[in-house]
Amino acid sequence: MTVARRLLFAAALPVVLFVGWWVLSADSESFYSPPLSEILTAFGNTWTLAAIKAEVVPSLLRLFAGYLLASIAGVGLGLAIGLNRRLRATLEPVLEFFRAIPPPVLVPVIMLFAGIGDGMKVIVIVFGCVWPILLNTVEGVRAVDSVVLETARSYRVTGTARLTKVILPSAGPQIVTGLRQALSIAIILMVISEMFAASNGLGFTIVQFQRSFAIPEMWSGIILLGLLGFALSLLFRLAEKRVLRWYEGLREAQRRAG
């Protein structure tokens, strides 16, 4: 399939949904569901460059800070736990317990210790994102082929070289899966943390619009949030293809051989 056809298929459903929303809402007289044309007008008037700098940029900085810290902690701890059977057996029940706790429930608790500043919001994002990264890293390390490990050992590939040349590449697809899951969680927690206690940010702004009954502006914020999520997902997929180019090539070769 050519690049043009892939883009056409990818854009087909969003275009159909957009046209359907436009047509179905054109005659809407509901205060809470205004016509899409009115929402788009509010979008252009609301999200100016100054508004994006004041409200969206702080949200993205918190998102990136929390996601980066969660990635470092999740991959680092996941490698340590995955490589040590005793450590894994000891910590696995505790990890599963904390993973099962919904991060939004802990926002009031985190506020007691971290206040209501940016630190609280970053901690909430870290707590929610670290689990899928950590657990997928552990599973990726556990799934490394024993034959590959034995071959590396026979060639005296040990220490850092063994970690960077054997274990990380083999566990890479699973680690990337955890990172992809964590990205969507990070976006959700970014908004939720800003809804609790904030003076700026996209979540804070959407709630302010809702409380002041600026409904078209509220919908415009929701649309902007969706566009940001789509853009971040697209950037992640581009980075994933670059990092796992060897893996995609291997899968393609296997498909052709099959």
Give the chain's mean pLDDT.
87
Q: Which domains does the chain have, with CATH numbers?
A: 51-253 (1.10.3720.10)
pLDDT digits (tens, 9 = 90+) for 145-161: 878 777 878 877 777 88
* pLDDT confidence band for 107 (50 / 70 / 90): confident
Q: Are 46 and 54 in contact (CB under 8 A)?
A: no
DSSP class of 52: I
Are 144 and 126 in contact, with CB atoms under 8 Å apart?
A: no
pLDDT 10s digits, 112-130: 888 888 888 999 999 999 9
Between CA 40 and CA 243 the distance in angstroms is 37
For range 86-92, the mean pLDDT: 86
Across 11-24, b (16+ Cβ under 10 Å) vs e yields eeeeeeeeeeeeee
Q: Is the dihedral of CA 237, 240, 245, 248 positive or negative?
A: negative
Percent of the chain with pLDDT over 70: 92
Is 258 a residue whose pLDDT tops 70?
no
Helices 215-243 and 36-46, packing angle to 10 deg: 80
Q: How many CB atoms lie under 10 A from the CB of residue 246? A: 10
pLDDT digits (tens, 9 = 90+) for 19-59: 999 899 888 888 889 999 999 999 999 999 999 999 999 99
pLDDT at 252: 64
Q: Is the per-residue pLDDT at 254 higher than 70?
A: no
Average pLDDT, stretch 67-77?
95
First to last CA, the chain: 19
Please give the C-alpha separations between residue 136 and each of 71, 74, 75, 130, 171, in angstroms, as whole numbers: 11, 9, 9, 10, 9
User: Bigger pLDDT: 153 or 208?
Assistant: 208
